[in-house]
Amino acid sequence: MIDRTHELPVKHQCQILELARSTAYYQPAPIAPEDLALMRRIDELHLEMPYAGARMLSRILKREGQPVGRKRVSTLIQRMDIHALYRKPNTSKRHPAHKVYPYLLRNLEITRSNHLWAADITYIPMQRGFVYLFHIATTGQASWRGEISA
């Protein structure tokens, strides 16, 4: 949005947009091709083994012939916003201050189509980004039955 060739100075353009002047001059450093290849391999390994952390990934990469340390892998994982999945302590214990809501469908008798709906959303990792998948499930297909009277 900031045009350096405009007659209005960059300082005033930043004030109008309520931006710090440093953001107008910031040029992000490009990522090295070696790091991109390494990040790609880390992403592939994470999809195969989502439980692997920086230590395990660095050992796997060393076995594959890529000499990379644990701290470098950790930095790249943080940059990619990847987290290892593992069992956390005390996940089944609820907090005493949290309200427990009743299960409203326990005694519900489902008698017709479209009486009960459920929805879920997930994402599927693709080569470039993600695809979101949303699904709505009903209790049955609604069918129309009409009588034609002459």
Question: Mean pLDDT lowest for which of 26-30, 91-95, 126-130?
Answer: 91-95
In this predicted structure, what is the pLDDT of residue 87?
A: 80
- Say if residues 71 and 33 touch (Cβ distance below 8 Å): no
Residue 150 has pLDDT above 80, yes or no: no
Reading the block at residue 112, the tokens are 């017709």
- The arithmetic mean of pLDDT across residues 68-78, rounded, is 95
Sign of the CA dihedral running 106, 110, 115, 119 = positive
Residue 144 has pLDDT above 50, yes or no: no
- Please give the model's pTM, rounded to 2 decimal places: 0.49
Distances (CA, A) of 122 to 26, 125, 136: 35, 10, 12
In this predicted structure, what is the pLDDT of residue 69?
A: 94
- Count how many Cα atoms sit within 13 Å of the Cα of residue 16 in the half-sphere of its side chain: 9
- The arithmetic mean of pLDDT across residues 82-100, rounded, is 84
- The arithmetic mean of pLDDT across residues 70-84, rounded, is 94
Query: How do residues 6-62 score in pLDDT, each as one tens digit?
Result: 888 888 888 988 888 888 888 888 999 999 999 999 999 999 999 999 999 999 999
In this predicted structure, what is the pLDDT of residue 140?
A: 64
